[in-house]
Structure 1
Amino acid sequence: MRRSSVNHPRRQGNPIPQRTYQPRKGEGLLPGARARQDVIAALDVGSTKVCVLVAELSEESEVDITGYGVAPSHGMRRGVVVDVEGTVRAICEAVEKAEHMADVRVRSVTLGVAGTHVQSFNNRGVIAIAREDKDITEEDVARALEAARVLTIPPDRDIIHVRPREFIVDGFDGIRDPVGMVGNRLEVEANIVTGSTTSIENILRCVARADLEVEGTVLSGLASGEAVLHPAERELGVVVADIGGGTTDVAIFDRGGLWHAAVIPVGGDHITNDLAVGLRTPLAQAEKVKIQDGVALVDLAPADEFVEIPDVGGSRTHRVGKRALAEIIQPRVEEIFDLIVKEIKKSGREGMLPGGIVVTGGTALLRGLDEVGQYETGLPVRVGYPQGQAGLADLVRNPGCSCAVGLVHFAAQNLLAKEEAGAAEPLSGLFAGIFGKVKNWFKQSY
């Protein structure tokens, strides 16, 4: 197999950062009957921060957050790895913080996948029910979904998700679960999400170099929706917009499932850059001003309040009105919502999303952002906070943690499914291809 041309710290005498934490002796079992291997972890590698959550499943199968770690991300840009070593160090730092808090050793994670390379489209799978009884089984559903995967995609892309939108039995549509029904022909309308093989392989290598295994991958927008949406919103039709640092993850849900997904190459960092240029101040100071004094809507900014802004050199300061800050911020926020509207039109669901838009991500905390969104889109807009978890819920009840919380929920669902099946299912799709290559690469390299 072709060796990677990436410069590796081990080969150059610069050691890979090692996680130093070890669980206490005798930590084999949690209180109760659950074993330590039932601990689950989520890893969200963003453009501005890396977030890790550790959780346990209670006896009632509820998610109990036990560990939380976050670290600045310096190796990602728009969801794509641009600095391998920087990304590995950020992952190690965040994981070690979560390990200390949870008092466990994290060995595997469920990973969020995002970036401007992500694309979404729809396809149909059709199979015949040839048995005499015509009963539709779970195996038939799996065959229909597999048939939906049979399509031509470029060799540099891999399928991340195949999510059923609806099933059709003998021409009757709108069916969510056809198992147990009778029919001659089963069809599935599926949403297929693909990503760049290279981009996904790079982030998987970073995770592997941080001494972690990947249990599964989940589209970041889908994970955010899992954390912030109410069931009724999924049914009616709703948009989730996770506004991160470098990108905005858009996921459109309807009839209970994923209908369309996209990644917009504009996020909170662009607001920060606008402020840095407009105020002639360093990026770090612009970010601080955005968080402390920024308002997304000019009408909400007081005209008689001012902020002291240091110059680029730091030797002098100048006063800027808070209204002037809002005049810089609002156009970029309007652009983000205009791009969200374009994705809604592209999905074909324009005028059919009464649930409106749920904005989440760190930038969603910008005051007045929801009001700008309502004006620009004509849809109801609310800020989404993670829900459905216990334990350290107060630490992660923040829009910036929505993706990580959603990943934990997906990891919990996967663990419960494995327990019900009695054994771990083999890797398929994305993992069978990319992650297998990564493991082989590590074996050959070290």
Structure 2
Amino acid sequence: MEHNLAVGLDIGTTKIVAMIGRKNEYGKVEILGIGKSKSLGVHRGVVNNITQTIQSIQQAVQEAEAASDMKIEGVTVGIAGQHIRSLQHSDYITRANAETVIDDEDIDRLINQVHKLVMLPGEEIIHVLPQEYKVDGQGEIKEPIGMYGGRLEANFHVVVGQVSSIRNVGRCIQSSGLNLEGITLEPLASANAVLSQEEKEAGVALIDIGGGTTDLAIFRDGIIRHTAVIPFGGNVITEDIKEGCSIIEKQAELLKIKFGSAWPGENKDNEIVSIPGLRGREPKEITLKNLSKIIHARIVEIIEQVYVEIKNYGHEEQKKKLIAGIVLTGGGSQLKHLKQLVEYITGMDTRIGYPNEHLAGDSDDDITSPLYATAVGLVLDGLKRNERKKIEQQEKKQEEKEEQKPVEEIKEKPVKERRSFLDKLTERVKDFLDNAE
């Protein structure tokens, strides 16, 4: 595949989406094809049936290939699910020589130190995100490289997940005949797709309400500060409607989408929907007021859990305040009156996030739906990874050329971007799959 093309694969609880995107000459992303299939082997964001997941992936990929007239070889995939948790951790290193400036290697050493943290069995560190540094006790340093100092310390946001779950996702992709090109945290992918840089600076919480899980990512001063996965999503609302109204799931899902509202006050008592009975039974009559009461109770529970996480991050402290408030995305964000309810519960400004931040202006409305936020984010991530690869290859060629030059001509090397943990994780998962039988 060309380097300006990338494919995002969003393996969700309710749907699997394959999306092909390319960067146009204005630096915006055009979506060339999209395929989606019902996700059968995934529960709460975690693969629990490999065979079914493979079939669903292949179906989505074939659809995207047909829509774009292209062959998909490699994909960038998102990881989420109930096994992801995050923690705050501080660590420090003492440098051997305080008379030299701090460089990349010092930071790598500090980050590798974090790896010695003791995890629960089966867990592994997925992502280590430095929050701020201290050099010799002087705090609030954003970038310590180039400074002098003997003791370098940092606060880290550490994201932890189950290795087996991540390997299973890798296995599904490999068995679907695809290359695993990159792994990204889904909350980060969605955030890239829907948030503006200004919002990330001002402080914002992105809430992605999916089918099986609700993901949260909090940014402040342009840096990710907190992530969480809450093991509830749109499916539990559908379940409650099904139980509460004694109807089948398909009907419950339709009711939720067509008539559902998060705010029970607005339905009149006499608004009624009639649902056909099963196999010759009498039709059922359901009042919209009852329907929205059921939805309201469950969505309040989800939002309150998310709000607990926002408070855990420290939103109530003055210097951690999230000025841009909340952005809602994901399929669950399309529920009527949800914005008002979230503002009412949290007292924070809220908007619905459409993934059009980096998409070309003429993109189809269908693609810019909150449903596709994660998929768009994964495409963006894949494109960024391709660009990095291209730059690395050019640097290699450059270095080979320079080795043949006399010493006095060699200029200073450009600063390389530090390889992220997710890139290392991707490589580890690939190696594992190559050696596993």
User: Shorter-normalised TM-score: what interval?
Assistant: 0.7 to 0.9
Is 1:190 aligned with 2:143? no
- Higher mean alpha-carbon deviation, 207-216 vs 36-45, is at 36-45
Is 1:171 aligned with 2:137? yes
- The residue number in structure 2 matching 1:418 is 389
- The residue number in structure 1 matching 2:235 is 269
Shift of 1:59: 4.1
- SS state at 2:372 partner: helix
Q: Does the C-alpha gap of structure 1 residues 221 and 103 become closer, same or farther in structure 2, counting only changes over 3 Å?
A: same
Q: Does the C-alpha gap of structure 1 residues 326 and 143 become closer, same or farther in structure 2, counting only changes over 3 Å?
A: same
Shift of 1:388: 1.1
The partner residue of 2:288 within 322, 327, 330 is: 322
Residue type matched to 2:366 in 1? L
Kindly provide the CA deviation profile for residues 277-320 of structure 1, in whole angstroms up to 9, marking residues without a partner as x. Answer: 12211100110111111111012334443211233556331222
The partner residue of 2:430 within 411, 431, 435 is: 435
- The residue number in structure 1 matching 2:325 is 356
Shift of 1:267: 0.8
- The residue number in structure 2 matching 1:3 is none
Q: Does the C-alpha gap of structure 1 residues 130 and 280 become closer, same or farther in structure 2, counting only changes over 3 Å?
A: same
Shift of 1:257: 1.5
Residue type matched to 2:373 in 1? S
The partner residue of 2:257 within 291, 296, 315 is: 291
The answer as to whether partners of 1:160 and 1:429 remain within 8 angstroms in 2 is no
The partner residue of 2:199 within 219, 225, 233 is: 233
Q: Does the C-alpha gap of structure 1 residues 66 and 126 become closer, same or farther in structure 2, counting only changes over 3 Å?
A: same
Cα distance in 1 between the residues matched to 2:272 and 2:191: 38
The answer as to whether partners of 1:165 and 1:255 remain within 8 angstroms in 2 is no
Shift of 1:133: 5.7
Q: Does the C-alpha gap of structure 1 residues 314 and 339 become closer, same or farther in structure 2, counting only changes over 3 Å?
A: farther
Cα distance in 1 between the residues matched to 2:96 and 2:27: 38
Is 1:251 aligned with 2:246? no
Report matched runs for 1:368-383 at 5 Å. Answer: 368-383=337-352
Cα distance in 2 between the residues matched to 1:110 and 1:125: 31
Residue type matched to 1:389 in 2? L
Shift of 1:396: 1.6
- The residue number in structure 2 matching 1:12 is none
Is 1:365 aligned with 2:334? yes
- The residue number in structure 1 matching 2:353 is 384
Report matched runs for 1:35-434 at 5 Å. Answer: 36-130=2-96, 134-313=100-279, 315-351=281-317, 352-386=321-355, 387-390=357-360, 392-422=363-393, 429-434=424-429
Q: Does the C-alpha gap of structure 1 residues 271 and 231 become closer, same or farther in structure 2, counting only changes over 3 Å?
A: same
Cα distance in 2 between the residues matched to 1:392 and 1:67: 11
Report matched runs for 1:25-40 at 5 Å. Answer: 36-40=2-6
Cα distance in 2 between the residues matched to 1:135 and 1:393: 50
- SS state at 1:96 partner: helix
Cα distance in 2 between the residues matched to 1:396 and 1:175: 40
CA RMSD of aligned residues (A): 2.3
- Higher mean alpha-carbon deviation, 172-181 vs 393-402, is at 172-181
Cα distance in 1 between the residues matched to 2:246 and 2:12: 27
- The residue number in structure 2 matching 1:13 is none
Shift of 1:37: 4.4
Cα distance in 1 between the residues matched to 2:98 and 2:314: 39
The answer as to whether partners of 2:3 and 2:387 remain within 8 angstroms in 1 is no
- SS state at 1:136 partner: coil
Cα distance in 1 between the residues matched to 2:379 and 2:302: 28
Cα distance in 2 between the residues matched to 1:87 and 1:414: 25
The answer as to whether partners of 1:134 and 1:184 remain within 8 angstroms in 2 is no
Identity %: 37
- SS state at 1:397 partner: coil
Cα distance in 2 between the residues matched to 1:252 and 1:83: 31
- SS state at 1:249 partner: strand
Aligned residues: 408
- SS state at 2:219 partner: strand
Kindly provide the CA deviation profile for residues 122-168 of structure 1, in whole angstroms up to 9, marking residues without a partner as x. Answer: 22343345567633333333333223333222341122211221222
- Higher mean alpha-carbon deviation, 339-348 vs 263-272, is at 339-348
Cα distance in 2 between the residues matched to 1:313 and 1:141: 67
The answer as to whether partners of 1:125 and 1:146 remain within 8 angstroms in 2 is no
Cα distance in 2 between the residues matched to 1:184 and 1:263: 38
Name the TM-score, length of structure 1 as normaliser.
Answer: 0.85
Cα distance in 2 between the residues matched to 1:360 and 1:212: 28
Cα distance in 1 between the residues matched to 2:299 and 2:279: 28
Q: Does the C-alpha gap of structure 1 residues 428 and 364 become closer, same or farther in structure 2, counting only changes over 3 Å?
A: closer
Shift of 1:356: 1.9
Cα distance in 2 between the residues matched to 1:99 and 1:129: 53
Cα distance in 1 between the residues matched to 2:429 and 2:152: 31
The answer as to whether partners of 1:160 and 1:218 remain within 8 angstroms in 2 is no
- The residue number in structure 1 matching 2:406 is none
Shift of 1:75: 0.8
Residue type matched to 2:384 in 1? Q
Cα distance in 1 between the residues matched to 2:92 and 2:275: 62
